C-alpha cells in the first residue's frame, strides 16, 4: 500500500468521478484507475461501485475512507514537523576548532550534516585564549578545547579523552620498539609549544616526565606541527607529543609515533559554550559530538 494510492482513493471519493479526480491530482485518469485497482486487490475488496452513470463508495469504501484520511493527515503532520525541524536548524553554526582533532572533527561535521542538512558550519581556527574570548563575547557559538576548566561566563562540557603519542626520529633506536618508556627520553630535548599557548598540554607532559624521574630537557620551541615533525625527522634527535587521532592521519617518512610505555597521556576534549544563553544549536551539536565519540570507542 502506497500513500499515493490512498491520496488517489480519497480524491476520487470526494469528487465521485475519476476524470475530475485526475484533473485535481494533475495526472492522467488511467493512472488513477490503475492505482486504485491495485489498492483494491491488496485490500481484497472493491472500494467503489463503478457504473456508467456514477461512482459511489461501496460499504468497504465507506469504512476505509476515514482510515485513509487519517493516514494522510498523519503524513501531513510528519512533514510539518520535519519542515519545522529543518527551519529550526537552518542558519550558521560558528564553531572554533582545536589542533589535533583529526578524524573526530570530520565525524562531528558528518553527524551535523545528517541531522541538520540546512545548517551551515563556519569553522574558526585561532589560539585557545582567543577562541574562549570569542565564545564569551558571542562571536563564536562554541569551540573545542582541551584541558580547560569551567567558570565565569563559560561552560565546559566534557566530550572524550584524547590520548597522546610520542613523536621521535624514525632512525632513533627508541623507535624500534612498539612503545617508549618516558625515562628513556630524558637525554633528548623536548620540542613543545610555550606553556602560555597551551598550559594544559605543557603541564601534562611536564608532570608525566617528573613522575618518570626527570625534568624534560628544553629543545627548540615548536612551531607548526608539520615544521616540528620535519625538524624532528631531519635534525639532531628531539621528541614531542602528538594527539593520536592526528598521528593517524600523518605519514611523515622520517618520524615514528609510539605510545608511552606503562601509562596513558591524555587530555579531555570539551565543548565550550556560554554559561548563560548558550547557542540554540547546542543540543544538536552535543548529539553530533556524542555520535563522533562513539565511532572511536
Instruction: Map out the domains of the chain as residue ranges.
Output: 3-87, 93-158+275-295, 161-266
- Cβ contacts of 260 within 8 Å, gap of 6 or more: 164, 165, 166, 179, 180, 181, 182, 208
Which CATH architecture does the domain made up of 3-87 adopt? Orthogonal Bundle (1.10)
Residues of the chain with pLDDT under 50: none
Q: What does the pLDDT read at residue 124?
A: 94
CB of 97 within 8 A of CB of 123? yes
Tell me the pTM: 0.62
Residue-wise pLDDT for 198-214, tens only, equals 888 899 999 999 999 99
**Which CATH number is associated with domain 161-266?**
3.40.190.10
- pLDDT (0 to 100) of residue 207: 94
What is residue 194's predicted lDDT score, i.e. its pLDDT?
Answer: 85
Class of domain 93-158+275-295: alpha beta
pLDDT tens track for 108-155: 999 999 888 888 999 999 888 889 999 999 999 999 998 766 667 899
Amino acid at each position: 500500500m502506497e500513500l499515493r494510492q490512498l491520496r488517489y482513493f480519497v480524491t476520487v471519493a470526494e469528487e465521485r468521478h475519476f476524470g475530475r479526480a485526475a484533473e485535481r491530482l494533475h495526472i492522467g485518469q488511467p493512472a488513477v484507475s490503475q492505482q486504485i485497482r491495485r489498492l483494491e486487490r491488496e485490500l481484497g475488496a472493491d472500494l467503489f461501485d463503478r457504473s456508467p452513470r456514477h461512482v459511489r463508495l461501496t460499504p468497504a469504501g465507506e469504512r476505509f475512507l476515514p482510515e485513509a484520511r487519517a493516514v494522510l493527515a498523519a503524513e501531513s503532520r510528519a512533514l510539518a514537523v520535519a519542515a519545522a525541524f529543518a527551519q529550526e536548524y537552518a542558519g550558521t553554526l560558528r564553531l572554533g576548532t582545536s589542533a589535533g582533532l583529526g578524524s573526530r572533527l570530520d565525524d562531528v561535521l558528518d553527524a551535523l550534516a545528517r541531522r541538520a542538512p540546512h545548517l551551515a558550519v563556519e569553522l574558526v581556527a585561532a589560539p585557545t585564549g582567543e577562541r574562549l574570548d570569542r565564545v564569551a563575547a558571542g562571536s563564536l557559538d562554541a569551540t573545542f578545547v582541551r584541558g580547560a576548566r569551567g567558570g565565569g561566563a563559560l561552560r565546559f562540557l566534557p566530550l572524550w579523552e584524547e590520548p597522546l603519542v610520542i613523536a621521535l626520529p624514525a632512525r632513533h633506536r627508541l623507535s624500534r620498539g612498539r612503545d617508549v618508556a618516558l625515562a628513556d627520553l630524558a637525554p633528548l630535548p623536548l620540542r613543545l609549544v610555550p606553556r602560555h599557548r597551551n598550559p594544559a598540554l605543557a603541564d601534562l607532559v611536564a608532570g608525566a616526565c617528573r613522575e618518570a624521574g626527570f625534568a624534560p630537557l628544553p629543545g627548540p620551541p615548536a612551531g607548526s606541527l608539520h615544521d616540528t615533525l620535519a625538524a624532528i625527522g631531519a635534525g639532531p634527535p628531539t621528541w614531542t607529543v602528538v594527539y593520536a587521532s592526528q598521528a593517524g592521519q600523518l605519514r611523515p617518512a622520517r618520524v615514528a609515533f609510539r605510545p608511552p610505555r606503562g601509562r596513558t597521556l591524555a587530555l579531555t576534549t570539551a565543548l565550550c559554550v556560554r554559561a548563560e544563553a548558550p547557542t540554540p544549536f547546542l543540543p544538536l551539536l552535543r548529539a553530533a559530538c556524542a555520535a563522533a565519540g562513539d565511532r572511536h570507542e
